[in-house]
Amino acid sequence: MKNSLIDLPKPKLTLLQMLGPSIVFVALSLNGGEILIWPDLVGRFGFQILWPIPLVLLLQYMVNLEIERYTIATGKNTVTGLLSLSRWLAPLFLIAIFISLVWPAWASIAGNMIAHLLGLDYKVYGAFCSTFLLFGLLFIWFSPGVYQFLEKLTRFGLLVILAIASVVIINLFNFQAISNSIQPVWFPTTPSDKITFLSGLAYGGVAGVLNLVQSDWVAKKKYAVASLQENKEINWNSETTRLNWKRWWSLIKKEHFTMFYVGNFVGILLIALVSLSTLTNQGLKGFSLLIYQVNLLNERFTILGTFWGIAIVVLFVMAQITILDAAGRLIKHSIGEKKMIKNISSERISQAFGLIGVVILSVAIFKPGFNQPSGLLEISASLSAFVMCLYPPILLRLNSKLPKVVRPGIVNTLFLWFTTLFYAGMVVWGVWGQF
């Protein structure tokens, strides 16, 4: 029997009530590019090195909207939709997930900072702290409602880091330092700095396969068609449906722009100012710049550096949890309904994925030089930048099959093609001369 068509219900949520998935994204990006990669670049090359941030955030914003479009228009997962277009996408996504997310860089940074805050040499004890920290985090997936936990944790974490960053800026802000930092350097030239810059283009926001998990989080919030029962079909030719779609789409764009674009932009700006206030002319790279910041702040203001270190730990722990959750969901969608593994939940996959990270960190216990958190982060970010140039055209193809009223327009289409060209060009530029 054919299902009767219904009109798309109008939104019952306010913009404030819809805030959620993008908050998790902001917290995730703050733990990558904003805390470590861009402060590194700003401290060594000056404030002007931030020039691509508005563009990168805009490109990622447009890609994220298209990921959300498919889910809120169909109620289905975007990864599942993409895989329906071609069989070769499943192994490609699995490879991309493993090679870009398996590195436990976030737990490594948090563990190294814990060791330092405890008065231990992080080069010796950081691997121990990181390994036990990541192992402990795996027990989170034995509890129900992981996404709800993530959302609450990220709200708290963002407030902590932004509050402490504001206190640091108030106490150390120096406009002259910003002015003096500006140099005629728009692109780094050494091979290692080019990779760092490329990593910043990926993690100045969230890029790669991680963007795709936005579909799951939006579905959890039950936006638009995702709120309906599976046997309900929308009458897309109805004037009521068209009007309500415009209302939903307007709210989606405002929610994501407010939290993802504005939130990331403000976060990057604040932490860049902290970097300029503490790192100018120090020539520090990687994790050592975070150690220097903590020590300097403790010297100038009693325990402020310790609070800054604690905030860093909270945020990177939050990022590692989010990434493991995302990896489990993405792998689950990528393997589909294969008989041997279809009954394995995304939670168990997240735990198995995390155990691989525990093994990687365990290697660092016996080989300390392997535990280089900034290096692990750059590996992940560079691979994510490469993935970012692959799937936007496929995403456009998927959304072009949607009902005409909800298909992407010419502006969105051009932005996604430009995203592919931009990241492809930057990957070639970053890798050129590395070997």
Judge whether 380 and 33 are in contact, CB under 8 Å.
Answer: no
Question: What is the mean pLDDT of the segment spanning 86-96?
Answer: 80
Using CA atoms, how far residue 247 sits from 9, 14, 67, 130, 352, in Å, is 10, 11, 18, 46, 41
How far, in whole angstroms, is CA 115 from its chain's centroid?
A: 25
Report the distance separating Cα 127 and Cα 64, nearest Å: 35
**In this predicted model, which residue has the larger pLDDT, 112 or 11?**
112
Tens-place pLDDT, residues 192-220: 788 888 888 877 666 677 788 888 878 87
Residue 368 has pLDDT above 70, yes or no: no
Using CA atoms, how far residue 37 sits from 203, 332, 381, 424, in Å, is 8, 30, 10, 20
Residue 27 has pLDDT above 60, yes or no: yes
| SS3 (DSSP) at 206 | coil
Residue 307's pLDDT is 86
Residue 324 has pLDDT above 50, yes or no: yes
Tens-place pLDDT, residues 62-82: 999 999 999 988 888 888 888
Residue 356 belongs to domain with CATH number: 1.20.1740.10
Residue 230's pLDDT is 64
Residue 155's pLDDT is 72
Question: What is the mean pLDDT of the segment spanning 404-408?
Answer: 91
- pTM score: 0.84
Residue 422 has pLDDT above 80, yes or no: yes
Residue 126 has pLDDT above 60, yes or no: yes
If pLDDT is split at 50, 70 and 90, which confidence band does 1 have? Answer: very low
| Percent above pLDDT 90 for the chain | 12
Residue 114's pLDDT is 94
Structural domain boundaries, residue 143: 5-431
Domains identified in the chain, total number:
1
Judge whether 206 and 25 are in contact, CB under 8 Å.
Answer: yes
Q: Please name the helix (run of DSSP H) or strand (run of DSSP E) that holds residue 234, with its range, or none.
A: strand 233-234
Report the distance separating Cα 96 and Cα 258, nearest Å: 29
- The residues facing 233 across adjacent strands are 5
* Lowest-confidence segment of 231-240, 364-373, 384-393, 407-416 by average pLDDT: 364-373
In sign, the C-alpha dihedral spanning 422, 57, 373, 317 is negative
Residue 31 has pLDDT above 70, yes or no: no
Tens-place pLDDT, residues 271-321: 787 777 776 555 666 677 888 888 888 888 778 888 888 888 888 888 888
Report the distance separating Cα 358 and Cα 226, nearest Å: 36
Tens-place pLDDT, residues 206-261: 667 778 888 887 887 777 777 776 657 888 888 998 999 999 899 889 888 988 88
